[in-house]
Amino acid sequence: MIPELSGDFIQWLRGFYYTAQTGSMTEAAVLMNRNQSAITHQIKCLEKELQADLFAGSKGKRILTPEGKRLFRQAVKIFDIVTELKGGANQPETSLGGGITVAAPYTCAEFYLPSQAALFSAQHPEIRFNIHARSRMEDMLADVRTGRADFAILRMDSSSDDSAGKNTRNHSQFVSTPTQSVRAADLSGLRAEPLFTSGLTLISPDNGPLAVTRPPTPEILAGLPFVRHADLDFMDQAAMDLLIEYGINLDTAHWVSHCGPLKRCVANGLGVAIVESFACRPEDSSELCAVSLDHLLPPRHFGAIMPKNADLPVHVQVFLRFLLNNSPTSH
């Protein structure tokens, strides 16, 4: 027999889902177009209903408990079913076909989407991808608004109640890069769904005096020559400001416009560089050292931007679920 549940249970679960995805009630409230107090109420009601603590950690960083992790996995399945019911569950996924157009920053277009598209195409060979690599956030949002793209992948605005490790600077300070970061004010007529998080990684030559094999201290970073991305695609100015708070003034030796040539410059000993973690590949280990900077810089949240009031084609919805379930980092 199906147990009785409150009529608001699904909404409570939705608030939990977005909080778990973003690690922040404030960011969940933005995505759901709700007040933060409403999300807080939903979480409390859900915990009371289930008689379990779902989150641990401080107010600034929501971390799933073991019970929360189990519920999150179940919630993903529930909302997959809900999406199918709304989008037309009578169409079997095995018959998926059609075009999927995605607008994305060069980083995602080069290092994230190709592998994901290949995995999805292996399951659905009738799907055809069109990836628009863009350097400007405004162009990507315009692609979505005009229908030139089904959705865009952008770095999401981090919330004001997240803090960066030992540093007290708000995560909202980490989103000044116009090429990748999108704020709630930019989303008129659009909606956002969280996809994945990615840290920042220091890459260096695999040998020689510039090789860095362990997470560096601020003093080590301050003494290294850097190859920087000309469009600030990886390192925005606010992240630079945070490094300055740690006493780090990066010595920029060279500028490169795209990540591929940037990695080649590092491999050839021109300096070290900071890149998104998903831009590092296993094959890079033959010529590059890669170490996490999670101890200095906060993770960055990426999401899918799509039309607010339009139902996406079923094959596009299925691909979005695929991206969520195959994220570079997962809960």
Any domain includes 82: yes
Any domain includes 161: yes
DSSP letter at 96 equals -
Q: Are residues 261 and 221 in the same domain?
A: yes
**Sequence-ordered list of residues with C-beta below 8 angstroms from that of 95, at least 6 positions apart, any chain:** none
Any domain includes 330: no
Any domain includes 4: no
Per-residue pLDDT of the chain (331 residues; tens, 9 = 90+): 456 666 688 888 888 988 888 888 888 888 888 888 899 999 999 999 899 999 887 666 778 898 988 898 888 778 767 766 665 545 554 567 899 999 998 889 999 999 999 999 999 999 999 999 988 888 999 999 999 999 999 987 544 333 333 333 333 332 333 344 566 657 788 888 888 888 889 999 999 999 999 999 888 988 999 998 776 545 555 566 677 777 777 788 998 888 889 999 999 999 999 988 999 988 898 999 999 998 888 888 889 999 987 788 899 999 999 998 887 653 3
Q: Are residues 286 and 304 in the same domain?
A: no
Question: Among 59, 87, 115, which residue terminates a domain?
Answer: 87
Any domain includes 310: yes
**CA distance linking residue 24 with residue 77, whole number of Å:** 21
**CA distance linking residue 36 with residue 178, whole number of Å:** 26
Q: Are residues 77 and 13 in the same domain?
A: yes
pLDDT of residue 141: 92
**CA distance linking residue 331 with residue 197, whole number of Å:** 10
Q: Are residues 214 and 156 in the same domain?
A: no
Range of the domain at 23: 9-87
Question: Among 87, 116, 141, which residue terminates a domain?
Answer: 87
131: region left, alpha or beta (phi > 0 left; psi from -120 to 50 alpha): beta
Q: Are residues 212 and 286 in the same domain?
A: yes
Domain count, the chain: 3
CATH of residue 129's domain is 3.40.190.10
Query: 158: which 2 tokens?
Result: 């981090």
Q: Are residues 303 and 191 in the same domain?
A: yes
Question: Among 87, 111, 128, which residue terminates a domain?
Answer: 87
Q: Are strands 288-292 and 151-156 parallel, antiparallel or unpaired?
A: unpaired
Any domain includes 155: yes
